[in-house]
Amino acid sequence: MRVYNIAKNIFLNPKSFLLDNKTVKQTIFKNTFWLAVAEGISRLLKLILIIYVARILGATEYGKFTFALAFVSLFVIFSDFGLSHITVRELSREKKKEKEFSSIFTLKILLSTGALILMTVGSLFITPDQDIQKVIWILAVYILIYSFSEIIYAFLRARQQMQYEAWAKILQAIVVTGAGFYIILNFPSVQNLSFGYLFASSIVLIFILLFFHFKIYHFSLGWDKTIWRKFLAMSWPIGFVAIFATIYNQIDSVMMGYWGQITQTGWYNAAYRIVNVTIVPAVLISQCFYPVLSIAFKESKEKLQNIWNYQMELMITLAVPLMIGGIALAPGIIDFIYGPSFSPSVLAFQILIIMAGIVFFIYAFSQILIVSNQQKKNFWITFTGAVVNIVLNLILIPKYSLYGAAISTLITMLLIFILYLIATAKFTSVRPLNLKIFLVFLGAIFSSVPMYFAISWPLTYNLNVILTVLIGAGVYLICLFMLNKIFRLNRIKP
C-alpha cells in the first residue's frame, strides 16, 4: 500500500512530489530519489572510465594513479574537518543560522589552502619518483576543487533541496568522465589523465558557485572568527573521525605504494573501486535520513527511534544479499569488468565485499551519535580503528600484500561496528537491538539463501554476470516479499 501511494502521488503530481517537501516520508523519498539518480549516474560513468583506464594503462600504471589518489585523499579531510556535517545539522535545525554561511564558506577556503600545503610538502617524502610526485600535485588541486562543492551541498541538504545537488553531481560526472575518456583514448598517460580530472572539475565548480550565488543564496566572504571557533569546536571530533576513517580506507594503498608494490596496488584498487560503488546506497540513505533525524532528535525519542529503525531496516535489507551475492559472483565480476589479467583481485574483492556490508550498519550507528550530539564518541571509535588498521597493515601487507590489506580493513571495520553498537546503546536514546530489527535481519538471511543457490547454479552462473545479478536480485526480493507477507514484519513494533 505504501509503494502504491508513492507511485500514485508521483503519477498525479510528479513535479510537486519530487521537488517540494511535504511529509517526512515523502521528503525522505524525494531526497533519496534525487541522490540515487545522481550517485547512480555519477558512479556508473566514473566506474566505466576507471575500467578503461585500468585496461589501457595496465595494473602498474593504474597502480601509480591510485597510489597518488590515495595519498592526497589522506589530506583532503583537513579541507573540511567535519564542517559540512555540522553545517547540515545546525542549519537544518535553525534557518536563521543561514546568515552565518558566509563565514563558514570563508573558513572552508582557509582549510583548503592549508590542506594543499600539507599535500605538496608530504609528496616530497612519500616517494622519490618525480613523475608520481607531479601526479600527486595535480590530483591534490583536483581533489580539493572536487571536495569544495561539499560545503555548497551541505547548505542544500540543510534545506532538504537535494535535487540541486543531484543535478550538480550529474554534470560533474559527465564533464569529468568525458574529459577522462578523451585523454585516455588520445593521450594515454597517468599525468595527462590527472590534468583532465583537474580541468573538468574546475569548470564544473565555477558553474556550481555561480548557480548557487544567483539562484539559491547570495553569499559573500565573512570573517567572523567567533563563528569559525564555534563551528570548529563542534566539528573537530567529526573532522578527526573523517581523518581516521580515511586512514583505514587509504593507508593500505599508500603503504603498498611506499613499499614498491605498485602493481599489487593496482589489483587491490581495482577490487576496491567496485566495492566502493556497492556502498553508494548506504551513503545515499544516510544523507537523506540525516536532516530528518536531526529534526526528530529535538521533537521526541519515539519519533527518533522509529525513523532510525526505518533507516536500519533499509541498511540490513541491502547489506545481507550484497555480502552473500558478492562472494559468490566475485570471479565473474572481476573477469567481466577488468579481464583475466586482474584475476588476483578476486580474493581481495571477496574479503572487501564483506567489509562493505558491515559499512552499511556503521553508517547508521555513526550518524545517530552525531545527531545525538555524541560526535566525540565517533572520534574515539575511529581513532581506535585507525590505530588497529595501521598495526595490522604493518604486519599483514609485507607478508600477504593486497590480501593482507583487505583482511586488515575487514577486521578494522568489524571492530568499529562492535564499538559503535555499544556506544549507540549506551549514549543515545535509540535502542539498536530490538525485535523488529532482529526479524528483518533474519528475513534478509533466509531470503539470501535461495538467492545464493540460484546464482551459484551452473546454468545461471555461466550467464552474463549482469543477468546473473538481476536474477539473484529478483529471487531475493520475491523471497523477502513472501516472508514479509507471511509474518507481517511491517506490523511488528520495535
| pLDDT tens digit at each of 494 positions of the chain | 343 344 444 444 555 545 555 565 666 666 667 777 777 788 788 878 888 888 888 878 888 888 888 888 878 878 887 888 788 878 877 777 878 888 888 888 888 888 888 888 888 888 788 888 888 898 888 888 877 888 888 888 787 777 788 888 888 889 988 998 899 888 888 889 888 888 888 888 888 888 888 888 887 788 888 888 888 888 877 777 777 777 777 888 888 888 888 889 889 988 998 898 898 888 878 877 877 888 888 888 888 888 888 889 999 999 999 999 999 999 999 998 888 888 999 999 999 999 999 999 999 898 888 888 887 788 889 889 889 999 999 999 999 999 999 999 999 999 999 999 999 999 888 888 888 888 889 989 999 999 999 999 998 888 889 999 999 999 999 998 888 777 665 544 54
Helix (H, G, I), strand (E, B) or coil at 217: coil
Q: Residue 401 region, left (φ>0) first, then alpha (ψ -120 to 50), else beta?
A: left
C-alpha cell at 32: 533519496
Residue 447 to residue 441: CA distance in whole angstroms? 10
C-alpha Rg value of the chain to the nearest Å: 22
**Alpha carbon distance 65, 184 (integer Å):** 13
The number of angstroms, rounded, from the C-alpha of 257 to the middle of its chain's C-alpha atoms is: 23
Q: Which whole-number Å values give the CA distances from 7 to 3, 166, 198, 364, in the listed order? A: 6, 21, 41, 27
